[in-house]
Structure formats: C-alpha cells, structure tokens
Amino acid sequence: MAIYHFSAQIINRRGKKGNQRSVVDCAAYRSGQKLFDERYQKVRFYKKEVVPVTKILVPDNAPEWAKDREKLWNEVEKIEERVDAQLAREFNVALPKELINEEQDKLTFEFCQKTFVDDGMVADIFIHREDSNNPYFQVMLTTRPFNSDGTWGLKVAKVDDMEKHKFTKKYVYTTNWNDRNTLRKWRKQWEVMTNDYLKKNGIDERISCESNKTLKKETAATVHEGHGRRLSNKGKKSDRVKLNETIKDYNETVNELNQLKQKKQKKKQ
C-alpha cells in the first residue's frame, strides 16, 4: 500500500564526526554520474546497478550553468566559504508504488517545480527504483537564492531599523526555507498532490502527513528503509529492515486484537 515518508536533512560541510563533506560528492553518489570535485581536486564516481532517473529544475532567474550538475555543485562549494556552511537541503520521499513509473516521474517533477523551484531553489532530482517495492526520490536543493541578474543572493540580510522590526538579532534570513511552518506546508503539499495523482489514476489508496497518533490509529508507523532494503536484498543486516519487521509484527497483533474486539461486540449485541 502507499505510504507517507518525507524526511529532510541539511548537507553541511562539516560532518557529524567533524570531517569535511563535499556536496559534489553527495551529488555524484545520488546520481551515479562521474563528477569532478574542484575543491578537493578529485573525481567522484559511484557505480549504480540501477541507474536513477535524474533531472535538474531551475528557477527563471538562475544562470544557464545551474542546469549542469557538476558546475552547479562546484559553484555552491565556491560561494559557501564557512567551514560549517550549509551546502544543500535534501529530502527523501517515498513514491506510491501503485503508480506506474511515468506517473511517479510526473508527480515528482511537478511537486519539485511547484514546491521548491517556483520559490527560487534549484532542484537536483534522483528517482531510485533499485527495489520495485520501494520506489523513492531524493532531491538536493540550493540553500542560497539567486538575484534577478543570475548571481548568488544572500542567505541573511542585516536589519537596519531594530526598533521598527522588533528583531532581537542584527541579521534575518532572506527566505523562509528554514522555517518549520514552511516544512509543514511542504509536507502537506506532498500529501495533497500524491492523493490527487492516486485519485486521477483510479487508485483508492491515500496517504496522510499526519502521525498515526493524530489520526487515532493504534498501529505504529513503519520507517523508510531506503538503502537498508538494498542491503537486506543482498543478504546483509539492516537495522531499519529489522525495525520494520518488528513494527509489522506489532501491527498484525493490534489488528488481530481489534478484530476480536469487533467479534465480541457483535456477539454482545
């Protein structure tokens, strides 16, 4: 059945262990394309057994080079000078397997265009189908807007009139892309657009961005397996797959108990 999974992360230059990360390396890994990393002077390449469907969508004021994956992320590495810089925003989103591949592609591109690109971001999209039961897409997004002339804009701007704006900080974000309410809007947008596609294709399944607790469901939500499923298919251990197996066993028990409660209630009536 169709599931809702929509996770977000920031790709920082400084990794969790203090190591230096490369956004060019991240793009090469997700795309399966050979890219030259100018900052570290090395070729990045990760061979994919199943080559992902990739596409770059750009806003109207973006320069022509933004459509080139290698050039795009090398330019991001250049403009972001801080050692702890935020290089890209990334989303990992489960696709409804009930849709055929062409419809999954259309849904992905339309969602990224309306949600991210029309708001000023460059979207580098990767649709993965290593496991036919677990299709999903990743999208890497630029964190810095473009000016009207195609040059990089500012992430933050200085506030001149502190009293007028009642800000407690001297600098404010130039976009709302880091706002929690914006993330909630994006999550809801995916629910709405996916359900529209399912309905349009005559499929009764629906997804929801709300938690099972909010929906008053007794069952627990599974986690997105992603790379873990590929490891499991190769006979390797995956904590995510193991966790999902435990959750599915729990949900089966809950469903069985609910069926018994319903039978008991009918008998009582």
Percent of the chain clearing pLDDT 70 (strictly above): 81
H-only helix segments in 10-86: 23-31, 69-79
Residue 183 and residue 245 in one domain: no
Taking the C-alpha atoms of residue 80 and residue 206, their distance in angstroms, rounded to an integer, is: 40
Residue with tokens 């409804």: 96
Residue 231 and residue 192 in one domain: no
Instruction: Answer whether residue 191 is part of any domain.
Output: yes
Residue 55 and residue 181 in one domain: yes
Residue 27 and residue 114 in one domain: yes
The confidence band for 135, taking pLDDT boundaries of 50, 70 and 90, is: very high
Taking the C-alpha atoms of residue 9 and residue 44, their distance in angstroms, rounded to an integer, is: 22
pLDDT confidence of residue 181: 96
Residue 15 and residue 112 in one domain: yes
Residue 107 and residue 237 in one domain: no
Structure tokens at 104: 């999954």
- Among 91, 92, 131, 135, CA closest to 231: 131
pLDDT confidence of residue 13: 95
Which conformational region is residue 42 in: left (phi greater than 0), alpha (psi within -120 to 50 degrees), or beta? beta
Instruction: Answer whether residue 249 is part of any domain.
Output: yes
Contact of 2 with 198, CB cutoff 8 Å: yes
Instruction: Answer whether residue 212 is part of any domain.
Output: no
Taking the C-alpha atoms of residue 97 and residue 128, their distance in angstroms, rounded to an integer, is: 12
Residue 193 and residue 259 in one domain: no
Residue with tokens 């701007």: 157
pLDDT confidence of residue 124: 98
Residue 239 and residue 177 in one domain: no
Number of domains composing the chain? 2
Instruction: Answer whether residue 209 is part of any domain.
Output: no
CA angle 178, 95, 236 (to 5 degrees): 100
- Domain containing residue 50: 6-159+167-200
pTM of the model: 0.80
pLDDT confidence of residue 230: 59
- Among 164, 145, 147, 165, CA closest to 155: 145
Residue 235 and residue 120 in one domain: no
pLDDT confidence of residue 234: 66
The confidence band for 222, taking pLDDT boundaries of 50, 70 and 90, is: low
pLDDT tens across 44-99, in order? 999 999 999 999 999 999 999 999 999 999 999 999 999 999 999 999 999 999 99
More confident site: 30 or 170: 30
State yes or no: pLDDT of 41 exceeds 70. yes
Residue 235 and residue 113 in one domain: no
Residue 178 and residue 241 in one domain: no
When the pLDDT of each residue in the chain is averaged and rounded to a whole number, the result is: 87
Contact of 94 with 104, CB cutoff 8 Å: no
Residue 179 and residue 262 in one domain: no
Note the Cα 215 to chain centre separation in Å.
23
Mean pLDDT of the region 16-25: 90
Q: What is the CATH number of the domain that holds 180?
A: 3.30.930.30
